[in-house]
Amino acid sequence: MGALKIVTANVNGINNLIKRKKIMQILKKIGDIIFIQETHLCKEEHEKLGKLIGAQIFATSYTSAKRGVTVLLNNSLGFVKDKCIRDREGRYVFVQGEIDAQAVTLINVYNPPGEDVAFMKRILHLLMSETRSHVHLSTSTFPLRILSYSSRFGFSSFIMSVFVIYDTAYTV
């Protein structure tokens, strides 16, 4: 597995079709793996995201006006899924599988304001009990590099972090 370009974005809702297309065009150009928080989409709309950019999608929803996270993987990666755990409240999606015969674990977490300690304990338990490989964790709470596209592209702002993971990714 060579270098992976991983992008994480908190989009603060992408129900508007124009905003959705613009954001997805940006993300597709710069990332192999895309983590999105706060999609505010239902299950059917999440599936359309994958088709829009030609990617495998793993998503979870809560209501159309709240939460929602996705993990999108470029089809060229040849990702083979072993396991997917989705939160019923739209706060995290946990995906295990292989890229180039190398085991990977992808976790996208949205920690809504006001969540209790029990939620973070659940995430840590999931990490400790389920991971067996390189871990790629995305959370809107700890962005590494923040880019804002609000004024440049004329739609509501979203937060995006971009980072590149090499073969020496974090291992648990």
Per-residue pLDDT of the chain (172 residues; tens, 9 = 90+): 567 888 888 888 888 888 888 888 888 888 888 889 999 998 888 888 888 888 899 999 997 688 999 999 999 899 999 999 999 999 999 999 998 888 888 889 888 887 777 888 888 888 878 876 666 666 654 433 333 333 344 333 344 444 444 333 333 3
User: Residues forming the annotated binding site?
Assistant: 10, 38
Domain boundaries, the chain: 4-165
Q: Is the dihedral of CA 50, 162, 136, 42 positive or negative?
A: negative
Question: Which residues touch 19 (CB under 8 Å, ≥6 apart)?
Answer: 11, 155, 156
Residue 113 CA: distances (Å) to CA of 6, 43, 117, 172: 25, 23, 12, 27
CA 143, CA 138: separation in Å to the nearest integer? 8
What burial letters (b/e) apply to 36-62, b meaning 16+ CB within 10 Å? bbbbbbeeebbeebbebbebbbbbbbb
Quote the pLDDT of residue 6.
84
- Helix, strand, coil percentages in the chain from 3-state DSSP, rounded to 5: 25, 40, 35
Quote the pLDDT of residue 154.
38
User: Residues forming the annotated binding site for Mg(2+)?
Assistant: 10, 38
CATH number of 4-165: 3.60.10.10
Quote the pLDDT of residue 87.
93
Quote the pLDDT of residue 31.
83
Quote the pLDDT of residue 97.
92
